[in-house]
Copies of this chain bind each other. A is one copy, B any other.
Amino acid sequence: MPYVPCPSCPLRANGPFKQYADRDIKFLDDLKKDHLAVEAGRDIIDAGDPNPPLFTLFSGWAFRYKMLPDGRRQILNFLLPGDVIGFQGHMFDAAPHSVQTLTDVELCSFHRSKVWELFSAHPELAFDLTWLTAREECYVDDNLLTVGRRSAVEAVGTLLIHLYKRADALNLRKNGGVTFPLTQSHIADALGLSLVHTNKSLRKLAKMGLHEIKNGSLTLTNGRALEKLAQFFDEPLAARPLL
Interface residues of A (CB under 8 A from B): 64, 66, 68-69, 72-74, 76, 87-88, 91-93, 96-97, 116, 119-120, 123-124, 126-127, 129-131, 133-138, 140-145, 147-150, 189, 191-192, 231, 233-234, 237
B237 and A149 contacting across the interface, CB-CB below 8 Å: no
The 3 A-B residue pairs with the shortest CB-CB distance in the complex, in nearest-first order: A148-B192, A119-B123, A120-B123
Consensus secondary structure, chain A interface? helix
| Min C-beta distance of A161 to chain B, whole Å | 15
Q: What residues on B are CB-neighbors of A150 within 8 Å?
A: 68, 72
Q: When chains A and B are docked, how far (Å) is the Cα of A155 from the Cα of B119?
A: 38
Residue of B126, B138, B145 touching A74 (CB-CB under 8 A): B145
> Can you name the residue of chain B whose Cβ is closest to the Cβ of A127?
B119
A134-B87, A137-B88, A231-B69 known; A148 vs B74 contact (CB < 8 Å): yes
The reply to whether B92 and A237 contact each other, CB–CB distance below 8 Å, is yes
- Decide: B131 and A91 in contact? CB cutoff 8 A: yes
Contact call A234/B133, Cβ cutoff below 8 A? no
Residue of B72, B126, B142 near A119 (CB, 8 A) is: B126
Name the distance in Å between A160's Cβ and chain B's nearest Cβ.
Answer: 17
Interchain residue pairs with CB less than 8 A apart (11): A91-B131, A91-B134, A93-B234, A93-B237, A96-B141, A97-B141, A116-B127, A123-B126, A126-B130, A133-B133, A144-B144
